Structure 1
Amino acid sequence: MPRICLFPGTFDPVTLGHIDIIDRALPLFDKLIVGIGRNVNKAPMYSEEQRLQWLREIYKDDPKVEAVVYDGLTVDCCKSVGANFILRGIRYVNDFEYEKAIADMNRSLDGHVETIFLTCLPQFTSVASTLVRDVLRNGGDVSQFLPAPVNLSIKNNSK
């Protein structure tokens, strides 16, 4: 059975922290699907189409990486894409406590799905999409936190 993993999140915008987790997880799986979740509690800064486009551009030369948009439960998305693993990045201890609670709930909902945690490299610990959006809204330079295609797109759209 192929090892298919779903990496869920909002990716608003895609950051170098996301890319670090994806790149380090790739050797562990046969396919990694980045799942852009629709979260009714969040008003995204960037459209789903834009976020999909960024991910597809970044991984255009890697057939192991796909990106999808999904609604509802992450375990239901896992079923629809054939994933038996959920990937989550951990920055701080409190991230782990929050993510463990979600992993436990997901395991209760579907015992066939295992959650895998990867810790961020130290240089990406402070790179959170929420903080990047705050800096962007206030006119700051976020280029050091974003992959090149995301930087280019944001710079072109802010002109």
Structure 2
Amino acid sequence: MTAWKDVEEAVPEFAARVRRIFEAHKHKTIATLRADGGPRISGIEAEFVDGQLRFGSMAHARKGADLHRDPRFALHSPSVDPPEGNPAGWTGDAKIAGRAHPAGPVGGDADGEQFHADIDEVVHTGLNADATKLVVESWTPGRGLRRVERE
């Protein structure tokens, strides 16, 4: 199992950049798989705690049922537009894909279940310093960090 702390240890600068993007706003988007194999997109809150990426599902929510049936997920950071007149100031988007593992009930007064992520891939999409090319950086446990620039 690859936890968030493993990403931080392997590629600290990349992991810090991805984490900042995820933590900049409260609400994220998660994709799960329905029983018929089709995609389901849901709003979600996620957090990095004690070296783990974790998120929850309210009791009886479809995304929780999806994750119990098929634990694969893709989590997308909030998307924000580049600053007006300064495309190079765009922080970019981040994505994390993997498998969700049940980790017990959520804390506090909420009725729901918590999941921890087993991470398969982490991606940051942004622009180069001149804002002339799209830059996609991706990390996997087996391959490490890779960078691709596109016109």
Q: Which has the higher helix share?
A: 1
- Answer whether TM exceeds 0.5 for this pair: no
Calculate the TM-score normalised by the size of structure 2: 0.26
Task: With a CA cutoff of 8 Å and minimum separation of 6, indicate the structure with the bigger relative contact order.
Answer: 1
Higher CA-based Rg: 2
Q: Which has the higher strand share?
A: 2
